[in-house]
Amino acid sequence: EDQVTQSPEALRLQEGESSSLNCSYTVSGLRGLFWYRQDPGKGPEFLFTLYSAGEEKEKERLKATLTKKESFLHITAPKPEDSATYLCAVQGGYNFNKFYFGSGTKLNVKP
């Protein structure tokens, strides 16, 4: 069964305390893995697309990496404004266009 699992469900960090979020998937025929940021009451904001194992993407304090079974979103020296829910999605499987979303990791960065 095609599935995307994110961990942890919630993460509390002190400002400046680096950490990583995990996204593991079992979708066959991966076309792409996507990371989004979602603030309360808003739609998801696109962050990264990763296409193949070994690929890495960076944006400010965020760095996304991909292996054959999972992806990590590394947050370096986070700030309170990084607090949000981070969603991972995978495109693949039998339905060419469909995204399989994880349940998200809610990140809270304390000043």
Residues that bind another protein (CB under 8 A): 31-32, 34, 36, 41-46, 49, 87, 89, 91, 97-99, 101-104
Whole-number minimum distance, CB 61 to another protein, in Å?
A: 21
Whole-number minimum distance, CB 41 to another protein, in Å?
A: 7
Complex with another protein: residue 18 or 46, whichever CB lies closer: 46
45 Cβ contact list (under 8 Å, min separation 6): 36, 37, 38, 39
Q: Please, are residues 37 and 106 in contact by the beta-carbon 8 Å criterion? A: no
Complex with another protein: residue 18 or 52, whichever CB lies closer: 52
Q: Please, are residues 20 and 8 in contact by the beta-carbon 8 Å criterion? A: no
CA–CA distance, 18 with 107 (Å, rounded to integer): 12
**CA 74 to chain centroid:** 9
Complex with another protein: residue 41 or 111, whichever CB lies closer: 41
Whole-number minimum distance, CB 18 to another protein, in Å?
A: 25
